[in-house]
Amino acid sequence: MSEPVKLVAKTLCLFFNFKPVKIKDPNGGNKMVDDYWEAAKKNVLTSALLKQLKDYPKDNMSDELVG
């Protein structure tokens, strides 16, 4: 998957407060890394995405999310 698409998936997960899936580091080693792509596929990339974005409470976004 291309990096820009992964970035959008991560951003959507952060907006909707979906936690990343832990996967083995694809670059090798035994370390576990956050994978927002899997979380986005399961929770965000659905037919309801446009409605979710339209109804998103943008006026109530946390400072942590905005900053």
Overall number of domains in the chain? 1
The pTM score is 0.70
Instruction: Give me the tens of pLDDT residue by residue for the chain, a chain 67 residues long.
Output: 789 988 999 998 998 889 999 999 988 888 999 999 988 988 887 888 888 888 888 887 788 877 7
Q: For residue 36, what pLDDT is reported?
A: 93
Q: For residue 19, what pLDDT is reported?
A: 93
Distance between alpha carbon 49 and the CA centroid of its chain, in Å?
13
Q: Where are the alpha helices (DSSP H) in 1-67?
A: 3-16, 36-43, 49-54, 63-66
Domain range enclosing 24: 3-66
Q: For residue 7, what pLDDT is reported?
A: 92
